[in-house]
Chain A
Amino acid sequence: MSDKLKQIIKKQTQKENENLDHGEDVVQLVGFIIGDEEYAVPILSIQEIIKPFPWTRVPQVPKYIVGVFNMRGAVIPLIDLRLKFGLSPKKHNEDTRFIVMREGDDIAGFVIDRLTMAIRIKKSDIGPAPDTASGDETAIDGVGKQADKIITILKVKKLLKRDF
């Protein structure tokens, strides 16, 4: 049994090493869909991804803050990215997920339409945000180019910042 485990661990480390070898500066991202667009955030800023569950509405806040929910004893704000990005509200369905993101002490859950996948992308393939959406105000960190599409990479820090 322990031999088997060792083997598996060995394999994994090997694999990791391989990965490290040829991906000199690789960024790991998690992609998701909001509306028609694909977005991504760095995998390390994601604390967890959960299926939707009940939340409590909070008064006196912008519409895109749908409320707060309980994650193992912590009260966490829930933000609907559809509304935040100016899209129309949509009923939660089977694909809907809450992504809980953390940066330092700031933490919040975000409602997204659908997860796509974990993406490894070379740093050299990430371009800057378009000129029209640059500066401190934008939530766009950069644009990741992939073979068949481009992905908007979001600034987690900006998403977690209170702006009302």
Chain B
Amino acid sequence: MDEFQEILQDFLIESFELIEQLDQDLVELETRPDDLELLNRIFRVAHTVKGASSFLNFDVLTHLTHHMEDVLNRARHGELIISPNIMDVILESIDLMKALLNTIRDTSADSGIDVSGCVVRLDLCTKGYGDVEAPAAKPAAPKVAEKVIEEVAEEEPSSSDELDYDNMGADELEAEIERLLNERMAEDKARRVSKLSSGSSSKEEDDSKEEYEPIANIPVVVTPARKPASMRDDSDSMDDARAAAPAKKQSSVEQTIRVDVKRLDHLMNLIGELVLAKNRLIKINDDVEERYEGESFLEELNQVVSIVSIVTTDLQIAVMKTRMLPIGKVFNKFPRMIRDLSRELNKKIELEIFGEDTELDKSIVEEIGDPLVHIIRNSCDHGIEIPAIRLEQGKSETGTIKLKAYNEGNQIVIQIDDDGKGLDVEMLKRKSLEKGLITEKEADNMSDKEAFALIFKPGFSTAAVVTNVSGRGVGMDVVKTNIEKVNGIIDIDSEIGIGTSMKLKIPLTLAIIQALLVGVQEEHYAIPLASVLETVRISKDEVYTVEGRSVMRLREDVLSLAHIGDIFEVERILDSSEYAYVVVLGLGTSKLGLIVDTLVGQEEIVIKSLGEFLKGIDGIAGATIRGDGGVTLIVDVVAIMDMAKHVKSTALVDTTSDAAMLTHEKTKASDYTVMIVDDSKTDRTIMRKALEPLGVTLVEAGDGQEALSILKQGDYNFDAMLVDIEMPRMDGYSLATEIKKYNRYKNLPLIAVTSRTGKSDRMRGVESGMIEYITKPYSADYLMSVVQRNINFRSEFLK
């Protein structure tokens, strides 16, 4: 059974690949119905699918493809001209074939789809021209496909008569077999003569062999009597082909490898880890550089770090490229769609495709298919006018839709232009007002660009009648959601009577992005750089309040503001400084100024999902792991712009209520708490001994970091701190600076206890916020009195 599954998988992959090309070929065929090369290619697809499906016992599929093959075979021999009507039938049958293949993929069986109607129509096409005997003399080109026919003849009488042909009369069947056998005999002769004459044709034959051979090797169906013959036949021609074109065969085989997407995803994950490790290494390198300034080994370390960093970046790009697919994969289905639509809508529309080789990440290619379908349908239905009107307006009868893809910096731009009637701003506003999507006031203040964006509002539709094609007011909303899902933006431009141009700007890949890291209080957030237009530093008095909302003036415009802390409910522990930074976010036509406390910098981040449990949190698109191993959340710009509308602005308002916590009523000496920060145990003991007589509570910390974390835990309410200056990890000055950042510790007396006595040392102490400066050595009494003074020690507690 496993073997069967494996074969089935191969069959499906091959078939889907073949069909992808098929649609385009067929549409092309309609314009050039006598292109034999094209016909042969199409015929081969039908044939290959038929052959394989009969081996795998997919009766319905075999039945259908067999009849398709008949029609195409007639056409190939010039016995049938492909008219649009016949083409419709062929296209219909191909759609059925796709549906059948999908069913097979999902259920491993091809039941449940009725093909009889289509088969009858196919038969009509075939019979309309009688059962003509194949012409005796044939040109060189169709010879290849003829070869394929022989094989059909070989297997049909054996494996097919119990499978298909159910609809055929016995006579018909006989005639068919007769015809094919005759054909083959005539062909056999012809081939022996011309076999070695043309290199290119034997190469092609080789191709058709390759498609066919694996099937012949499958030891399942096929009557044994026929099979050896077919095998010998195969090997004969294979030898011939090899003799004729050995070099070509070599170079065309080893070009590509089919790799499971899961493996690529895994590889991408590993690269992600590597990028994180690289970020971490760079951070450590910076730290080391700072600490060991001027040491000779630093240069070597620097070199290694930069090599690792470069190689990692290259590796990342290389792996990204393996995941890239040409966008042509998506574009391919549009010629067919345009053809169908123009017939349905009675319009003449031509599609021009540029840049189908432009490559995009596989996951994005999968996401943009649907939006493009909607956009193009929209252009056909609403954009392009009917031929009569076009002529009236002096345009050519045939409307043109241009589909372009190209790279622009770190983004891919997909541009859809039509030369239709364009978007009417007034009409868009009126319709939106009618449907209650916007208010009167909004409509008045709307720029043209904003008005164009109205077509993306859910429920919006300008079509007077709901047609098969559009008018349900769903499509363009889907476009917006899908494009935003891949962090893309949409840009519309339009002029009445001239046409509409829509640009989808999409990042190259999803997994790793450039981000701007911002800080608010003690938290960090990452904002995708693609949505950041600029950053500006403002002082508090530049913020105005209009109707309860904060705004600022940015050059000519008024920018609405929101504090990231309000959106993410950040607790305000730290004192906000006089300045704040505004990150101007832009998404399509809307803008928002996001106020943050600090700008940390730009970094390459790997997007990680928050998992099942936390997915879909408003405003959070995911998380990333930073160089220090911590997790930083990634801002969902789309959501945050929406949330900003509902957030009340408390921004930049000082809250000092926390300070009240410090002034508890003291009822006994031990209510006073003093922290001693010194890296020397001896020094700490000396201070402890000096202060113990006071009866105050004493807490010790070995260095600045420890002291800070004790403060943060908030287990004690400190009344004063004795701080040594020279300490490992974090010295006294930095500690003081850090402490002063916190609102609630702003007024905490810091007393430096140090052996540094220089004037500059004292100055630095004052700058960092120390209020007293005790030099070692000191007397116990002196220390006690200084502390007593600073904590307002009530004298009645003295024993």
Interface residues of A (CB under 8 A from B): 54-61, 65, 67-70, 73-77, 91, 105-108, 160, 162
Contacts and interface: CB of A to CB of B under 8 A. Distances in A.
A108 B612 CA distance: 10
Given A55-B631, A105-B612, A106-B613, A73 B619 contact: no
A70 B629 contact: yes
B523 A75 contact: no
B617 interface: yes
Interface in B597-637: 608-614, 617-620, 623, 625, 629-633
B617 A61 contact: yes
Contacts of A75: 608-611, 623, 625, 631
A101 B569 CA distance: 28
A162 to B, nearest CB: 5
Given A60-B619, A75-B625, A106 B612 contact: yes
A107 B612 CA distance: 8
Contacts of A107: 611, 613
14 contacts: A56-B630, A56-B633, A57-B523, A58-B614, A60-B618, A60-B619, A60-B620, A68-B610, A68-B623, A73-B273, A75-B623, A91-B713, A106-B612, A108-B613
Interface centre among A54, A70, A77, A105 (most CB of B within 10 A): A70
B568 A56 contact: no
B451 interface: no
Interface string B453-483: 0000000000000000000000000000000
B276 A76 contact: no
B443 to A, nearest CB: 32
Given A59-B617, A60-B617, 5 more contacts: A56-B632, A59-B568, A60-B619, A74-B608, A75-B631
The SS class assigned to the B binding surface is mixed
Contacts of A67: 631
B162 interface: no
A66 to B, nearest CB: 12
Nearest to A162: B613
A77 B612 CA distance: 10
A77 B568 CA distance: 17
7 smallest beta-carbon distances between A and B, as pairs: A59-B568, A56-B631, A75-B623, A75-B608, A77-B613, A70-B625, A70-B631
A59 B609 contact: no
B715 interface: yes
Contacts of B631: 55-56, 67-70, 75
Interface residues of B, number: 27
A61 B611 CA distance: 14
A14 to B, nearest CB: 39
Contacts of A69: 631
A76 B610 CA distance: 7
Given A56-B630, A58-B633, A60-B620, A65 B614 contact: yes
A59 B623 contact: no
A108 B615 CA distance: 13
Contacts of B623: 56, 68, 75
B614 A61 contact: yes
Contacts of B609: 75
Interface in B690-722: 713, 715
A55 B632 CA distance: 10
A45 to B, nearest CB: 15
Name which of A55, A57, A58, A59 has the most chain B CB atoms within 10 A of its CB. A59
Contacts of B632: 56
Contacts of A106: 611-613
A106 B715 CA distance: 35
B419 to A, nearest CB: 46
A76 B29 CA distance: 55
Contacts of A59: 567-570, 617, 619-620
A39 to B, nearest CB: 20
Contacts of A60: 568-569, 617-620
Nearest to A53: B629
Given A60-B619, A70-B625, A70-B631, A77 B614 contact: yes
Given A69-B631, A73-B273, A73-B276, A162 B620 contact: no
B611 to A, nearest CB: 7
A19 B307 CA distance: 55
B633 to A, nearest CB: 6
Contacts of A58: 610, 614, 617, 620, 633
B189 to A, nearest CB: 64
Contacts of A57: 523
Contacts of B630: 54, 56, 70
A91 B710 CA distance: 12
A108 B611 CA distance: 9
A35 B570 CA distance: 28
B507 to A, nearest CB: 21
A57 B570 CA distance: 9
A140 B523 CA distance: 36
Contacts of A108: 611, 613
A25 B567 CA distance: 53
Contacts of A76: 611
A70 B273 CA distance: 12
B608 A160 contact: no
A70 B277 CA distance: 13
A64 to B, nearest CB: 12
